[in-house]
């Protein structure tokens, strides 16, 4: 395993158990058996490291391939919803403490924006997919992809939060049936 992968693996575990607000780059460097300067050589700063962990070590939308015009819209949205639900469930423990620290949250927001990340990005694949399906005539011409994506992504976040709240960071992954039910509730009015 290469240095970058060791850093990402250590960071993923430390961020999962301690959260981004409590984890330090010194602790991550030590756990990955590298120096802090080496960690910064690979990632530049803590937010870039966090973004790499979120993108490369957590299941997410980048691992889902749905194509407009192929398969059933409801099944495709369920696939996207299941991926984002799983992503949220695993990222909430990492990020939750930021909410209690307005200064750290502000700095995090600025850094994520500079690196092209942030929670608003979660809806983008849903919006693009629904807009393409609308253009193909597979959903109603007056369907609002932005609103439908917000409803579905918001519901996924809510489900992930409730699972974390009830069971903690080691909660079992939400079953696909949850994502299917959410997708069904959003798609049927769009037909």
Q: Are residues 49 and 67 in the same domain?
A: no
Q: Are residues 179 and 87 in the same domain?
A: yes
pLDDT at 70: 97
Question: Which two tokens mark 177?
Answer: 């049936």
User: For 5-51, how does the pLDDT look when each residue is reduced to its tens digit (9 = 90+)?
Assistant: 999 999 999 998 888 888 999 999 999 999 999 999 999 988 889 88
Where does residue 44 fall: left (phi above 0), alpha (psi -120 to 50 degrees), or beta otherwise?
A: left
Q: Does position 163 have pLDDT exceeding 90, yes or no?
A: yes
Q: Are residues 77 and 13 in the same domain?
A: no
Q: Are residues 45 and 77 in the same domain?
A: no
CA geometry: angle 67, 70, 74, nearest 5 deg: 90
pLDDT at 31: 96
The span from the CA of 39 to the CA of 31, in Å, is 11
User: For 63-87, how does the pLDDT look when each residue is reduced to its tens digit (9 = 90+)?
Assistant: 788 999 999 999 999 999 999 998 8
pLDDT at 57: 85
* pTM summary value: 0.84
Q: How many domains does the chain fold into?
A: 2
Q: Concatenate the DSSP letters of all residues of 78-103 into one string.
A: HHHHHHHHHHHHHHHHHHGGGGG-HH
- What average pLDDT does the structure give for the chain? 90
Nearest to 107 by CA among 32, 170, 45, 172: 45
CATH code, domain carrying 157: 1.10.357
Question: Which two tokens mark 23?
Answer: 């984890």
pLDDT at 65: 85
The span from the CA of 4 to the CA of 38, in Å, is 9
Nearest to 89 by CA among 9, 8, 167, 22: 167
Confidence band, pLDDT 50/70/90 cuts, at residue 132: very high
Q: Are residues 178 and 126 in the same domain?
A: yes
Higher pLDDT, 46 or 145: 145
Q: Does position 60 have pLDDT exceeding 90, yes or no?
A: no
CB 162 within 8 A of CB 92: no
Q: Are residues 53 and 84 in the same domain?
A: no
Q: Does position 182 have pLDDT exceeding 80, yes or no?
A: yes
Q: Are residues 34 and 84 in the same domain?
A: no
Place of tokens 């949250």: 105
186 burial via Cβ count (<10 Å: 0-12, 13-18, 19+): buried
Domain residues for the domain of 32 are 1-57
pLDDT at 63: 76
């Amino acid at each position: 395993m290469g240095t970058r992968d060791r850093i990402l693996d250590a960071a993923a575990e430390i961020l999962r158990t301690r959260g981004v607000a409590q984890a330090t780059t010194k602790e991550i460097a030590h756990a990955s058996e590298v120096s802090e300067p080496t960690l910064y050589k690979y990632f530049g700063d803590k937010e870039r490291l966090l973004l790499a962990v979120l993108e490369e070590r957590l299941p997410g939308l980048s691992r889902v391939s749905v194509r407009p015009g192929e398969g059933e819209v409801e099944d495709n949205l369920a696939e996207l919803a299941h991926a984002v639900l799983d992503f949220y469930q695993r990222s909430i423990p990492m990020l939750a403490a930021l909410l209690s620290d307005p200064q750290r949250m502000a700095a995090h927001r600025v850094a994520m924006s500079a690196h092209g990340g942030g929670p608003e990005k979660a809806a983008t694949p849903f919006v693009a997919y629904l807009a393409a399906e609308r253009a193909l005539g597979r959903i109603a011409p007056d369907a609002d992809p932005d609103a439908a994506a917000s409803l579905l992504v918001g519901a996924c976040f809510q489900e992930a939060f409730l699972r974390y709240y009830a069971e903690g960071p080691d909660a079992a992954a939400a079953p696909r049936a949850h994502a299917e039910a959410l997708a069904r509730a959003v798609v049927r009015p769009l037909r």
